[in-house]
Amino acid sequence: MNAAVARLAHAFHFAAVAHTPQRRKGARGEPYVNHVAEVAHLLAEATAGNDVDLVIAGLLHDVVEDTATTAADLAEIFGADVANLVAEVTDDKSLPKAERKRRQIESAPHISDRAKLLKIADKTSNLRSIAESPPEGWPLDRQQGYFDWARAVVEGCRGLNAALETAFDAALAKRP
């Protein structure tokens, strides 16, 4: 058995179980695991499949923020590289939302190049989701504000992968 494929399958299963009760905020209410699968797919394409740990981090990028999983759990199960990538893009949920958003803009230029790719893939997936199935209760100005904020975050991550940036720009172009 190919070890990389086995690790990817394990990460996908782990993410699916961890996010089981979660749904996306959009009107379609699709399973949250669809988001992390899309992020992983974007990263696999951006790296031509040559960075398995980054793809795994894409699958797991929200588990520390959104579930009982800890960074230590990720390090033990998937290794320090994956855990460190996830940690670079994990918000401190003890802070107010506005502060977390401000910190993402400020920190984006200073995270590792691989974490920047993860950040771009995550924002691309989020923009696509908002454009295709806006979150219930989000008025147009809130949707547009998210697009503007995502653009500001990604500005600090540019210059690494033209294909991924093109995917982000295409999603951004669907701004409501």
d(CA 4, CA 157): 27
86 residue type, one letter: V
pTM of the model: 0.96
d(CA 112, CA 74): 18
Q: The domain that contains 145 carries what CATH number? A: 1.10.3210.10
d(CA 77, CA 45): 24
| pLDDT value for 6 | 95
Domain count, the chain: 1
Give catalytic residue positions: 65-66
| pLDDT value for 1 | 67
d(CA 148, CA 145): 5
Residue 125 has pLDDT above 90, yes or no: yes
Q: What is the span of the domain harbouring residue 61?
A: 3-172
